[in-house]
Structure 1
Amino acid sequence: MVHSKHLVLLACTMALLPSLARAADTASGALVGTDGAAHGTVAITDAPKGVILRVEAKGLTPGWHGMHFHDKGVCEGPKFTTAGPHVHATTPVVHGLLNPTANDAGDLPNVFVGADGTATVEVFSPLVALKAGKDKPALLDADGSSLVIHAHPDDYQSQPIGGAGDRVACAVIK
């Protein structure tokens, strides 16, 4: 009987290990709008060759919006300039997913916000890592990082931010 209790305890512990490992390889943040209100969440999962980003947003203007990882883990409104420039490892920074000489690690695809002001998207970025130790900029470095959603879509070519315009929502990645 004692052995069966130990086996049950061992089985429960083993079942928890994968979820504990996943928790250590994730980060998240709360999206805040220029109005200071909550506008959704972001979740980032470390992957072998980059990160998976999930965004659930609400209260945004319908249409396409640029979205980028920014260099600082600070989101002071209403303009969110405290988030700094895009995450990068090389200067000068050359923006654009369609630019053959781009080196801007903060570049991400645009997000579409529906007529009801909501968006849910999951994208993969091979340009960053969640933590240090890989051969790319880490989102959870000493000064952190943030995810910024812009007022307009990114054209993936124009400098310095693809014409994406003002910062309308920001989440500190923790």
Structure 2
Amino acid sequence: MTAKLPLAAAAAAALLLGTAVQAQDKPQPTTAVLKNGAGETIGKVTLTAAPKGVLMRVEAKGLTPGWHGLHFHEKADCSKSDFTSAGGHTHGGGDRVHGLLNPKANETGDLPNLYADAHGIGMAEVFSSLTTLDKLKDADGSAVLIHAGPDDHTTQPIGGAGARVACAAVK
């Protein structure tokens, strides 16, 4: 009977160690506050590193009902009320142009549109294989921008999405 006790203790320790290793391997999300042009908090963006890209969850309120362009932008700077301080879309280099439906290629900032319901609430979970969380969190960070209108995914340079209405700085 005494031989079984050390065996049981070893099995329990291995189980605990395995659980601890799994917990360490789980990607830690980065959360950024989503603000409107008046500087009010209207939601959040949570980004999680994935094996071949980045998983993003957007939760927003106070939007105009309907579709809104959603993009990764170059800098983690939401200081101007029109959010032009965030720069253009993240690009990825080469001959890439805007638009998920553009046959020439995709910018790393291209994302599907976000839908806001009749109450102005928009929620989405989006995966992008065009970039990584590490690239978004480079020296000057990046931003997630929501535009006033939908992105048609072909028109240059921003798919006709219009003004920038919300911004989350990703650092």
- 1:100-145 CA-to-partner distances (Å, cap 9, x unmatched) read 11331100000100011111111111100112xxxxxx11111111
Deviation, structure 1 residue 152 = 0.4
Does residue 1:165 correspond to 2:162, yes or no?
A: yes
Task: Supply the distance in 2 between the matched residues of 1:140 and 1:103 (Cα, whole angstroms).
Answer: 20
Percent of matched pairs sharing the same residue: 49
- TM-score, normalization by structure 2: 0.87
**Counterpart position of 2:48:** 45
Does residue 1:119 correspond to 2:122, yes or no?
A: yes
Corresponding residue SS for 1:19: helix
Does residue 1:57 correspond to 2:54, yes or no?
A: no
Deviation, structure 1 residue 19 = 3.0
Letter in 2 for 1:19: A
- TM-score, normalization by structure 1: 0.85
Q: Any conservation in 2 of the 1:62–1:115 contact (CA below 8 Å)?
A: yes
**Counterpart position of 1:134:** none
**Counterpart position of 1:145:** 142
Task: Supply the distance in 2 between the matched residues of 1:68 and 1:44 (Cα, whole angstroms).
Answer: 13
Unmatched 5+ stretches in structure 1: 132-137
Deviation, structure 1 residue 16 = 3.5
Deviation, structure 1 residue 3 = 8.8
- 1:9-32 CA-to-partner distances (Å, cap 9, x unmatched) read 6644542433333244x3221101
Letter in 2 for 1:116: H
- Whichever of the two has the greater Rg, that structure is 2
Task: Supply the distance in 2 between the matched residues of 1:165 and 1:58 (Cα, whole angstroms).
Answer: 19
Letter in 1 for 2:150: P
Question: Pairwise CA RMSD of aligned residues?
Answer: 2.1
Letter in 1 for 2:146: I
**Counterpart position of 1:100:** 103
Unmatched 5+ stretches in structure 2: none
Equivalences for residues 26-37 of structure 1 within 5 A? 26-37=29-40
Does residue 1:67 correspond to 2:64, yes or no?
A: no
Q: Any conservation in 2 of the 1:97–1:156 contact (CA below 8 Å)?
A: yes
Corresponding residue SS for 1:109: coil
**Counterpart position of 2:153:** 156
Task: Supply the distance in 2 between the matched residues of 1:100 and 1:93 (Cα, whole angstroms).
Answer: 10
Does residue 1:17 correspond to 2:14, yes or no?
A: no
Q: Any conservation in 2 of the 1:71–1:85 contact (CA below 8 Å)?
A: yes
Q: Any conservation in 1 of the 2:66–2:115 contact (CA below 8 Å)?
A: yes
Corresponding residue SS for 1:15: helix
How many aligned residue pairs are there? 167
